[in-house]
Amino acid sequence: MKLKHFLVCASMAFFCVLSALTSCGSRNSDEKNTAEEDSVPMCSCPHAVICIQPYGNYTKQEASRLLPVLEENFGKWMYGGWQFKVLEPKPLPEEAYVKERDRYRAGAILQELSKNPKKVDGLNAVYIGLAHKDICTDIHNAKNYGIMGLSYCPGNVCVVSDHRIKTKSMVWKLMLHEFIHAFYGGKHCPNDNPKCFMKDAKGKGNIEVQDRLCDSCNRQ
């Protein structure tokens, strides 16, 4: 898989560099296939525009501060070209609010995110909603169970909340986790490895110790 992707992408290196698709272009920046120049082929490596949608009191500045660590880690753990955009914040959808739990239903947020354009700048768009408020869904035989993230798997929308994590700056790990569910239809870590980003958090999880995609979950 890795070799195949590399070969396809290496042959399209010129187009990748032109497109400034960071991971794709940077891996192959010293390889140029000028024969591709006239035909302007499409690069076959996976790529997407990842649109970050801050919700409620999550500010655009806070979301923008995540960009360096997102760019670094998406590039490090997933082969492809990833571009990030931070959208203008918007209120959490009123219909998502569960008053008795003071939580927002993640499914309703995903529905709203699904109304966004499927393509941005000609590339497939993936939307990641970002909230400080607690989010929930019906799972583990419980209604409005508090969760850290949810996505359509596969799909192009995800939502995460940093309400349940101690170190708020580590929310990027939730974003990576949900993105893998959505973009690749990736499942939870089959090894239940506590260090793996794809470990099922089951509503609490300890993302502080997560520092890798294990060999089973690796997307490189």
Interface residue list for Zn ion (CB under 5 A)? 189, 193, 196, 198, 214, 217
- CA 24, CA 11: separation in Å to the nearest integer? 11
In terms of CB distance, is 27 or 105 closer to Zn ion?
Answer: 105
Question: Which of helix, strand or coil describes residue 110?
Answer: helix
* CA–CA gap between residue 38 and residue 59 (Å, rounded): 44
* Backbone dihedral region for residue 5 (phi beyond 0: left; psi -120 to 50: alpha; all else: beta): alpha
Taking the least distance from each CB to Zn ion, the nearer of 171 and 196 is: 196
Query: How do 119-120 and 123-131 pair as beta strands?
Result: antiparallel
Least distance in angstroms from the C-beta of 7 to Zn ion: 26
Rg value, the chain, Cα: 18
Nearer to Zn ion, 57 or 216 (CB): 216
Residue 198 CB, nearest approach to Zn ion (Å)? 5
- 130 vs 196, which CB is nearer to Zn ion? 196
Question: Positive or negative CA dihedral for 13, 17, 22, 27?
Answer: positive
Question: Which structure tokens are listed for 218?
Answer: 């690796």
- DSSP tag of 100: G
Minimum CB separation of residue 164 from Zn ion in Å reads 13
Q: Least CB distance from residue 35 to Zn ion, whole Å?
A: 39
Closest contact distance (angstroms) between CB of 218 and Zn ion is 8
CB-nearer residue toward Zn ion: 111 or 193: 193
